[in-house]
């Protein structure tokens, strides 16, 4: 396995599919159908804001992060309009704004913005290697802590983060939107570097 800072364009479609596989359960009712969601994700991913793991047969995993220039997979209203049309962008944008109510950047913590490992390669240390790499990137950029959000229904991801020293610092319930997104709360987890 080889880790790279940045997403080579040749892996963009593969990265979008992997990202959608990881987050489609949460975002599918809003960003679906799948064909449009994949187009949207491929459009908004910022290749300069991630670390990728490459294996023998392609992309094995990725971890996105936020900088003062924006997030790895954050889109604009214009991106939504280009993929979903004017009406589709209006209602999707309204719902997505509720998920993005936290800060786009954090003056103290380096923020993880999307983390996924190819399903058939999970349990092989790829996630641990990606977390170590993103922690090293945070330190190199002068941060003393790193943070991320994980939904309360993702016990496997939370367990990985806890094994790597992340602790829950805040819980943000999403109220009635739990019926749309399929989870009750987002947990903010922090790791001191």
pLDDT tens digits along 2-28: 999 999 999 999 999 999 999 998 888
- Report yes or no on whether pTM surpasses 0.85: yes
pLDDT tens digits along 107-117: 568 999 999 99
Is residue 131 a contact partner of residue 160, using CB atoms and an 8 Å limit?
Answer: yes
**107-111, 116-120, 123-127: the lowest-pLDDT one:** 107-111
Tell me the residue range of the domain where 105 lies: 2-192
Q: Determine the pLDDT at residue 174.
A: 84
State the CATH number of the domain containing residue 128. 3.40.630.30
Mean pLDDT value across the chain: 91
Nearby residues of 51 by Cβ (< 8 Å), 6 or more positions away: 3, 4, 5, 6, 62, 63, 65, 130, 133, 134, 137
Q: Determine the pLDDT at residue 103.
A: 45
Q: Determine the pLDDT at residue 108.
A: 67
Rounded Cα–Cα distance for residues 19 and 45 (Å): 10
**Res. 97 pLDDT band, cuts 50 70 90:** confident
* The total number of structural domains that make up the chain: 1
């Amino acid at each position: 396995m080889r880790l790279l800072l940045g997403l080579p364009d040749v892996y963009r479609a593969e990265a979008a599919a992997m990202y959608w596989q990881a987050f489609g359960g949460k975002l599918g009712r809003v960003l679906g159908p799948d064909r449009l969601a994949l187009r949207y994700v491929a459009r908004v991913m910022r290749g300069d804001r991630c670390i990728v793991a490459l294996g023998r047969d392609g992309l094995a995993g990725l971890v996105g992060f936020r900088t003062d220039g924006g997030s790895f997979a954050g889109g604009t209203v214009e991106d939504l309009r280009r993929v979903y049309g004017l009406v589709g962008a209006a209602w999707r944008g309204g719902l997505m704004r509720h998920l993005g109510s936290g800060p786009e950047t954090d003056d103290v913590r380096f923020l993880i913005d999307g983390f996924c490992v190819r399903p058939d390669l999970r349990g092989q240390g790829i996630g641990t290697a990606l977390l170590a790499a993103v922690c090293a990137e945070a330190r190199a950029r002068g941060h003393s802590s790193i943070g991320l959000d994980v939904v309360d229904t993702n016990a496997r991801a939370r367990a990985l983060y806890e094994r790597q020293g992340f602790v829950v610092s805040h819980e943000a319930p999403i109220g009635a939107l739990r019926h749309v997104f399929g989870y009750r709360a987002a947990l903010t987890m922090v790791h001191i570097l």
